[in-house]
Amino acid sequence: MDLQDLVIPEGVIAHLKVTSKKQALQELAAKAAQVTELDERKIFETLLERERLGSTGVGQGIAIPHGKLASLDKLHGLFARLDHPIDFDSVDEKPVDLIFLLLAPESAGADHLKALARISRLLRNQKMVEKLRATENNEALYALLTEPSASATSVA
pLDDT tens digits for range 76-89: 999 999 999 999 99
Domains in the chain, number: 1
How deeply is 80 buried, as exposed, middle or buried, from its count of CB atoms within 10 A (0-12, 13-18, 19+)? Answer: buried
CATH of residue 15's domain is 3.40.930.10
In this structure, is residue 61 part of a structural domain?
yes
In this structure, is residue 156 part of a structural domain?
no
Range of the domain at 99: 3-146
Task: Tell me: pLDDT of 153 over 70.
Answer: no
In this structure, is residue 152 part of a structural domain?
no
Model confidence, pTM: 0.92
35-47 pLDDT tens trace: 999 999 999 999 9
CB 4 within 8 A of CB 146: yes
User: Which residues make Cβ contacts (< 8 Å) with residue 129, sequence separation at least 6?
Assistant: 60, 61, 62, 98, 123
> Among all residues, which ones are annotated catalytic?
66
47-69 pLDDT tens trace: 999 999 999 999 999 999 999 99
In this structure, is residue 151 part of a structural domain?
no
3-state class (DSSP) for residue 98 = strand
Q: Residue 3: its pLDDT value, please? A: 85
In this structure, is residue 32 part of a structural domain?
yes
In this structure, is residue 66 part of a structural domain?
yes
Residue 98 CB coordination number (10 Å):
20
